[in-house]
């Protein structure tokens, strides 16, 4: 087989729903709240778990199987916990959690290259306003804020290197970038050395703040604010160092999520959500299966199935699904047609996204592809529609909420798209 030619890049509302939507919209608009409303906001704090399968997971080997067809491949479909909904046999654990999930099988996007697709999909493909829009994580960090935990609002758990990724923030400025935990580990030099006392550390930080204020005087604040913000977030992380102590994890949890990197990272993601982090992103690489697609998915999908199903089960049991929006997706799907290397190529024409949790209907499928899975047959939706849907599910009114780009009001999602109402609770 040839090696992969692509590389990964480093309706009526119930009273309860109305209260949640109104509270979230007030937060999104950054309005001044009465004490009672503020308390309600705290009680209904929204969070996001965003799982990114980089390279393009095949919808035919996961959410939209077409067995016994020309392009269906070797895997069967299986029943799920919701009668009438079938998914790939590679996902038996997730099938048991289907009553919590919503599938959209009619995603149609524009870009079939990673370089364009990754960024545009994660920004929601907004109409061109002459600025670089933020990734979903940075947008949520801006609109919802860090909450009372004081922890960084946007944490990215990923294989490889970590660091503070400012590019995700676009025009929002570097402060809303992602704190990336490389291989799920805390930042380098995370713990205070034994030779430095707490008093010494406090005095050093007081001096740093003084010098930061002097340096910032008369200068644009975006860069200096971001620099100071990183230090403050690091200090807050230090106060929550137990998040990274895997020895405190129950052995049963480690077994349920799996020993794979993805399993470990998803378990860390659960702990970050429990600690109050607003937006947690988890990456898995290696899904660009131009060659040997079926063996690759036979190896990779079960790892995702195990950890994803464990996460959904845990969030449901902890009553966190009411407030945590879960999304799992790639930058596109894969071609129905099987190429000469027994692989599937890039296919933005008709693919699937799974979601669950806050504001999302449960146990449903929206849209469908034709019998061969080649094109969308009903309810075609672009990524802009999904961004409107996700913001709405978080209680943010996309018709009213605007970014403020130095006095320039900008829509938070593509202004020619609307929420997919069939997905919303």
Confidence of residue 9 (pLDDT cuts 50, 70, 90): very low
**371 Cβ contact partners less than 8 Å away, ≥ 6 residues apart:** 66, 69
Same-domain pairing of 179 and 194: no
**Cβ of 127: how many Cβ atoms within 10 Å?**
13
- The C-alpha atoms of residue 310 and residue 225 are separated, in whole angstroms, by 38
Same-domain pairing of 213 and 270: no
Taking phi over 0 as left and psi of -120 to 50 as alpha, with beta for the rest, 147 belongs to left
Tell me the residue length of the chain. 425
- The C-alpha atoms of residue 181 and residue 155 are separated, in whole angstroms, by 7
Whether the pLDDT of residue 12 is over 50: the answer is: no
3-state percent helix, strand, coil for the chain, nearest multiple of 5: 40, 20, 40
Interhelix angle 114-123/136-144, rounded to 10 degrees, is 20
Type and span of the H or E element at 55: none
346-347 and 77-79 beta bridge pairing: unpaired
- The C-alpha atoms of residue 92 and residue 410 are separated, in whole angstroms, by 43
Structural domain boundaries, residue 38: 12-44
**Cβ of 405: how many Cβ atoms within 10 Å?**
15
Q: What would the pLDDT profile of 127-158 be if each residue is shown by its tens digit?
A: 999 999 999 999 999 999 988 888 999 999 99
Same-domain pairing of 163 and 269: yes
Residues 325/424, Cβ–Cβ less than 8 Å? no
Query: Residues 79-101: what's their mean pLDDT?
Result: 98
Per-residue pLDDT at 54 = 98
Same-domain pairing of 39 and 78: no
Ordered alpha helix ranges (H), 99-250: 114-123, 136-144, 198-216, 221-238
Q: Please indicate, yes or no, if residue 76 is contained in any of the structural domains.
A: yes
Residues in a beta bridge with 83? none
- The C-alpha atoms of residue 11 and residue 350 are separated, in whole angstroms, by 27
Residues 361/102, Cβ–Cβ less than 8 Å? yes
Task: Classify residue 76 by its DSSP letter.
Answer: P
Same-domain pairing of 74 and 204: no
**389 Cβ contact partners less than 8 Å away, ≥ 6 residues apart:** 419, 420, 423, 424
Q: Which two tokens stand for residue 342?
A: 């027994």
- The C-alpha atoms of residue 355 and residue 143 are separated, in whole angstroms, by 20
Per-residue pLDDT at 160 = 95
Give percent above pLDDT 90 in the chain: 70
Per-residue pLDDT at 268 = 96
Confidence of residue 92 (pLDDT cuts 50, 70, 90): very high
Per-residue pLDDT at 46 = 97
Name which residue leads in pLDDT, 270 or 240: 270
Query: Residues 62-91: what's their mean pLDDT?
Result: 98
Q: What would the pLDDT profile of 22-52 be if each residue is shown by its tens digit?
A: 334 333 333 333 444 334 444 569 999 999 9
- The C-alpha atoms of residue 85 and residue 77 are separated, in whole angstroms, by 10
Q: Please indicate, yes or no, if residue 250 is contained in any of the structural domains.
A: no
Per-residue pLDDT at 8 = 44
Q: Which two tokens stand for residue 243?
A: 């998040």
Same-domain pairing of 144 and 280: yes
Confidence of residue 193 (pLDDT cuts 50, 70, 90): confident
Q: How many domains does the chain have?
A: 3
DSSP characters over 302-341? HHHHHHHHHHHHHHHHTT-TTTEEEEEE-S-EE-SS--TT
Q: Please indicate, yes or no, if residue 206 is contained in any of the structural domains.
A: yes
346-347 and 351-357 beta bridge pairing: unpaired
Q: What would the pLDDT profile of 327-376 be if each residue is shown by its tens digit?
A: 999 999 999 999 999 999 999 999 999 999 999 999 999 999 999 999 99
Calculate the CA 363 to chain-centre distance: 20
Per-residue pLDDT at 273 = 97
Query: Residues 260-284: what's their mean pLDDT?
Result: 97
Whether the pLDDT of residue 2 is over 70: the answer is: no
Taking phi over 0 as left and psi of -120 to 50 as alpha, with beta for the rest, 319 belongs to left
Same-domain pairing of 22 and 72: no
Predicted TM-score (pTM) of the model is 0.86
Whether the pLDDT of residue 380 is over 90: the answer is: yes
Q: What would the pLDDT profile of 198-234 be if each residue is shown by its tens digit?
A: 787 777 777 877 777 777 777 766 666 666 777 777 7
Angle at 370 between CA 369 and CA 376, to 5 degrees: 40
Same-domain pairing of 366 and 397: yes
Residues 18/249, Cβ–Cβ less than 8 Å? no
Mean residue pLDDT of the chain comes to 87
Q: Please indicate, yes or no, if residue 244 is contained in any of the structural domains.
A: no
Give the CATH number of the domain where residue 118 resides. 3.40.720
Per-residue pLDDT at 321 = 97
Name which residue leads in pLDDT, 122 or 28: 122
Same-domain pairing of 182 and 193: no
Sign of the four-CA dihedral 374, 378, 383, 386: negative
Same-domain pairing of 260 and 400: yes
364-366 and 101-107 beta bridge pairing: parallel
Whether the pLDDT of residue 15 is over 70: the answer is: no
HSE-up (13 A, CA, CB side) for residue 280:
25
Same-domain pairing of 183 and 202: no
Q: Please indicate, yes or no, if residue 249 is contained in any of the structural domains.
A: no
Instruction: Look at residues 115, 65, 117, 98 and name the one whose alpha carbon lies nearest to residue 297.
Output: 65
Same-domain pairing of 313 and 169: yes
Per-residue pLDDT at 221 = 64
Q: Please indicate, yes or no, if residue 7 is contained in any of the structural domains.
A: no
Q: Please indicate, yes or no, if residue 246 is contained in any of the structural domains.
A: no
Per-residue pLDDT at 223 = 61
Q: Which two tokens stand for residue 158?
A: 């990923």
Q: Please indicate, yes or no, if residue 245 is contained in any of the structural domains.
A: no
């Amino acid at each position: 087989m040839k090696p992969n030619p692509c590389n990964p890049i480093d309706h009526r509302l119930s009273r309860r729903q109305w209260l949640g939507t109104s509270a979230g919209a007030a937060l999104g608009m950054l309005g001044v709240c009465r004490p009672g409303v503020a308390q309600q906001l705290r009680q209904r704090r929204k969070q996001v778990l965003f799982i990114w399968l980089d390279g393009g997971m095949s919808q035919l080997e996961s959410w939209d199987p077409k067995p016994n067809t020309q392009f269906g491949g070797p895997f069967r479909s299986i029943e799920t916990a919701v009668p009438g909904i079938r998914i790939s046999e590679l996902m038996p654990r997730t099938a048991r959690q289907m009553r919590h999930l919503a599938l959209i099988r009619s995603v149609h996007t524009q870009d079939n290259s990673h370089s364009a697709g990754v960024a545009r999909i994660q920004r929601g493909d907004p109409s061109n306003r002459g600025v670089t829009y933020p990734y979903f994580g940075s947008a949520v960090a801006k609109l919802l804020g860090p909450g009372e935990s004081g922890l960084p609002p946007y944490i990215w758990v990923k294989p490889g290197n970590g660091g503070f990724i400012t590019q995700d923030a676009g025009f929002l400025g570097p402060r809303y970038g992602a704190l990336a935990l490389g291989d799920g580990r805390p930042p380098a030099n995370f713990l205070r050395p034994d030779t430095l006392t707490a008093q010494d550390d406090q005095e050093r930080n007081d001096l740093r703040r003084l010098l930061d204020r002097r340096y910032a005087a008369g200068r644009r604040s975006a860069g200096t604010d971001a620099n100071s913000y990183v230090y403050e977030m690091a200090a807050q992380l230090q106060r929550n160092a137990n998040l990274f102590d895997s020895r405190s994890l129950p052995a049963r949890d480690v077994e349920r999520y799996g020993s794979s990197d993805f399993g470990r990272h998803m378990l860390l993601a659960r702990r970050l959500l429990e600690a109050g982090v607003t937006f947690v992103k988890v990456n898995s690489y290696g899904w660009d299966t131009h060659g040997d697609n079926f063996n690759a998915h036979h190896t990779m999908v079960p790892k995702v199935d195990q950890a994803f199903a464990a996460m959904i089960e845990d969030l449901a049991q902890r009553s966190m699904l009411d407030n945590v929006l879960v999304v799992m997706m790639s930058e596109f799907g894969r071609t129905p047609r099987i190429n000469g290397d027994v692989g599937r190529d890039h296919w933005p024409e008709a693919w699937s996204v799974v979601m669950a949790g806050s504001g999302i209907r449960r146990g449903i499928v929206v849209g469908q592809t034709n019998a061969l899975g080649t094109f969308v047959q009903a309810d075609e939706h672009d990524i802009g529609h999904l961004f409107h849907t996700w913001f709405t599910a978080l209680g943010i009114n996309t018709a009213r909420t605007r970014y403020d780009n130095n006095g320039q009001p900008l829509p938070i999602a593509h202004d020619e798209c609307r929420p997919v109402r069939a997905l919303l609770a």
